[in-house]
Chains A and B, each alone.
Chain A
Amino acid sequence: MADSMCGPSNAGKTLLNHVDRDRSLHQDRLAGAAPQAGLGNTFRSQTQFANGTEAAFANFQQAGPVMEPALAPGLDMTAMVPGPRFAPAGPAQHAPIPGAPAPAAAVGGNALAQDWVSEFSSMQIGAGNAGPGAASAMRVQAHAATMAPANQPMAMAARSTPFAAGPMYGFRPPAMMNAFAPAAPIQGQADAAAVAATAEAAATAEAEAFDRAFGEYDNLILENDLASWAEKQKAYDAEFAREQDKWMAEHGPRVMPPTEAEMAIIDKDLEALAEEQDKERELRQKRANDEALAKAAADIVNSVADNTSDKFKNSHFFELMRRISNREVVVAGDAFVDAETGEKVNTSHVDDDDDDGHHHHHETGAGAAPAPTNGAGAA
């Protein structure tokens, strides 16, 4: 505060505050924000690609997922064993075909996938649908992009165990067909029927072509494999359960409650254990208490360390405190005892000198002077 500085200051200085103040720090920190972004407007600005980061993000969104080949090693066309399983029996064959490999496309490189798709669609398997095919391919890709996370584990799982084929098996054309419903309306309602007809024909043709290309596998083999695997699993489970039961019978807790005799033994053991623990705890506590005692006594001795008067030097109380802090005296039960001998410490002041300077031995304490005269006396 310039004004509150201890030092000469001009009373007029405060006026300068209103003019001179540097307000740059108060402004939003988006240097290089779009010119239309006034103070406070920047975050609400709708202009896309206003700066480099936004542009990059938009690209990213449109382009779809970029996958490292390393993440899905070897997942290319040839390893596409699961592919044929998606071979549907129904129409709209063309769609699922790029759809089935689309998971692969999702896991392949983005550019790679694009090449592949365009390559495939140019294979003319489904004649006349190259246009919408390409379009739907794009859509599929976009859709697949969203489904990619779900696909990925399944695609990879396909290579590991046949067991995983289950969910993939469920990942059937019906889902794909729903995905491609949007493709149809694009053609418009007018020639929907014609399109549908050609689509159906094309689909069947494609299916045949597909079977020719990849047809050495079919559903039957898959089902057989699955069945045999399931049986093996069941047998394994049963055996495991048996073994487990056997082991539990030998080592596990008993089903029948223990007998009286057994309980007695158990109780005795527990009690012995508890006693041991108690003893340990007591010992620890005693040690802690002794320490606390010695420390407190040491504090007392230190607090009067600067007192040089005779009274304090000869004080029995401080002597006792000194001995406690040296651990010469400890607590035993209800008294102070000498740490070595175990004898009770005598805290009596019986041997102190009397007022008249002579050493007397007192029992009940007889005074040297007569009692003061009574006043009112009894009540």
Chain B
Amino acid sequence: MGAADRIAQIGNQISGGVPKGKAAILEKRPDDIVVTAALRTAFTKGGKGAFKDTLASDLLAGALKGILERSKINPELVEDIVVGNVLAPGAMATEARAASLVAGFPISTAVHTLNRQCSSGLQACVDVANQIKAGMIEIGIGAGVESMTNNYGPGAVGEFSELLESHTEAANCKVPMGVLSEQMAKDRGITRAAQDAFAAASFQKAVKAQAAGLFKEEIHPIKVKYTDPKSGETKEVVVDKDDGIRDGVTVDSLGKIRPAFAKDGSIHAGNASQVSDGAAAVLLMKRSTAERLGQPILGKFVQASIVGVPPLLMGVGPWKAIPKVFELTGLTKEDVDIYEINEAFASQCLWCANELGLPKERINPKGGAIAFGHPLGCTGARQVSTLLYELRRTGGKIGLTSMCIGTGMGMAAIWVAE
């Protein structure tokens, strides 16, 4: 009937459909997608660290088990687990399914994996949130895992056909990240000194945070087998600390490292993300479901944005994705209390932060991938627990996670701590 239509039309004109702005974001609604458990394993150095003899599937199983232990949720209620992974063949779809069964989930819990390069962990959480919003599932887990010890290597990329090579931008997707970031740093005038300062700061923040036990809440210790390379003896160890965090890193000590990609370059192992192993997982459901089940609410997922950028400029991903997520949510940069921007390279992270004018003291307060590592598929999911626990600790409300993505993309997401 006309009256209902007309009133609905007026309603749409008033609300514009989607609530925007900080006040609207902070409101609690029964349909909000909330996080009731979020954790990560410790990160260890690829090839050398305590996880070097553990396959990615086992890391994932450990993280998923942790979710069950922490949330005490009935595993049968979890309908889908989405796992981000980059390097394993087929994004380890089969292994992930097996890992979920090992972790204690029944066969009725579905599993799928996905690969959007460095954002896979975040994309996994977003996919679960979208599935819940669409009514496809009620409860899901977004996770990420990477064993760079086992899978980092030349075999991970397929061969490029002539067709791909003949197209400029397509061929650009193969240009090594280090090379193009080096070029970008030169182009944008980001000095070695500035990068080293940024990197040193990341180390120092991480050291302080680790000493203060600020990672304890988010790290879930897991027991794995470790073969000592010297003695050959295999023992079981409990891994609960990031082993990449190194004390005593300063601009000077970083200044001594040789550049990795160009003789006169500025990027080296000290101001780039570390190669690491690790897993992370986030349990998501609607607020009404969480209340019904008595699940504690850590925070909520608001919105995510995805953008494409030139493959050769992949480092600018956050610079494009962050304004987009602000537009989608009606927020401004002043509204965000903590930024978790992945430190793929000091050069690109620094450049994005400068371009967007983000307040430096709010970026990665506990350090970033330069200090404790970037297991590719895991990072996106890792950032959620790091972010939410730090927001709660400091009384912050709105957080943003973001990363640049290899082959030229960027992703950003808004979270609220409660």
A–B contact (CB under 8 angstroms):
yes
Instruction: Of the listed stretches A124-132, A207-215, A259-267, A292-300, name the one at the interface; the rest are far from the partner chain.
Output: A292-300
A2: chain B residues at CB < 8 Å are 87, 152-157
Is the CB of B272 closer than 8 A to any CB of chain A?
Answer: yes
B27: chain A residues at CB < 8 Å are 306
Is the CB of A219 closer than 8 A to any CB of chain B?
Answer: no
Per-residue A-contact encoding for B267-280, CB less than 8 Å = 1, 0 else:
11100111100000
B272: chain A residues at CB < 8 Å are 6-8
Q: Is the CB of B157 within 8 A of A1?
A: yes
A296 to B4, CA, bound (A): 7
Q: Is the CB of A304 within 8 A of B406?
A: no
Is the CB of B345 closer than 8 A to any CB of chain A?
Answer: yes
Q: Is the CB of A1 within 8 A of B406?
A: yes
Is the CB of B358 closer than 8 A to any CB of chain A?
Answer: no
For chain B, residues 153 to 177, give those with C-beta under 8 angstroms from any C-beta of chain A. 153-157, 159, 173-177
The residue in chain B whose Cβ has the minimal distance to the Cβ of A290 is B4
B15: chain A residues at CB < 8 Å are 299-300, 302-303
| Shortest Cβ distance from residue A287 to the other chain B in the assembled complex, whole angstroms | 11
Q: Is the CB of B406 within 8 A of A4?
A: yes
Q: Is the CB of A300 within 8 A of B11?
A: yes
Q: Is the CB of B117 within 8 A of A4?
A: yes
A8 to B11, CA, bound (A): 53
Q: Is the CB of A6 within 8 A of B173?
A: no
Other-chain residue from B23, B155, B179, B268 in contact with A11 (beta carbon distance below 8 A):
B179
The residue in chain B whose Cβ has the minimal distance to the Cβ of A325 is B7
Q: Is the CB of B8 within 8 A of A4?
A: no
New A-B contacts (7) at CB < 8 Å, excluding given A2-B156, A297-B7: A6-B272, A13-B154, A16-B154, A17-B159, A292-B1, A296-B11, A299-B15
A16 to B3, CA, bound (A): 71
Q: Is the CB of A21 within 8 A of B154?
A: yes
Q: Is the CB of B7 within 8 A of A11?
A: no
29 interchain pairs, CB-CB under 8 A: A1-B157, A1-B406, A2-B153, A2-B156, A4-B176, A5-B86, A6-B342, A6-B345, A7-B177, A7-B178, A7-B274, A8-B267, A9-B177, A9-B260, A10-B260, A11-B178, A13-B176, A14-B154, A17-B154, A17-B155, A17-B157, A293-B3, A296-B7, A299-B15, A300-B10, A300-B11, A303-B14, A303-B15, A306-B23
Most buried by A among B14, B23, B154, B407: B154
A234 to B369, CA, bound (A): 93
Is the CB of A331 closer than 8 A to any CB of chain B?
Answer: yes
For chain A, residues 1 to 42, give those with C-beta under 8 angstroms from any C-beta of chain B. 1-11, 13-14, 16-17, 20-22, 25
The residue in chain B whose Cβ has the minimal distance to the Cβ of A291 is B4
A321 to B260, CA, bound (A): 67
| Shortest Cβ distance from residue A285 to the other chain B in the assembled complex, whole angstroms | 8
A1 to B159, CA, bound (A): 10
Per-residue A-contact encoding for B78-118, CB less than 8 Å = 1, 0 else:
00000000110100000000000000000000000000011
Is the CB of B193 closer than 8 A to any CB of chain A?
Answer: no
B23: chain A residues at CB < 8 Å are 306
B406: chain A residues at CB < 8 Å are 1, 4-6
Q: Is the CB of A4 within 8 A of B157?
A: yes
Is the CB of A289 closer than 8 A to any CB of chain B?
Answer: yes
| Shortest Cβ distance from residue B258 to the other chain A in the assembled complex, whole angstroms | 11
Q: Is the CB of A300 within 8 A of B177?
A: no
B155: chain A residues at CB < 8 Å are 2, 17, 20-22
Given that A7-B177, A9-B177 are contacting pairs, would A300 and B7 also be in contact in the complex, using a CB cutoff of 8 Å? yes
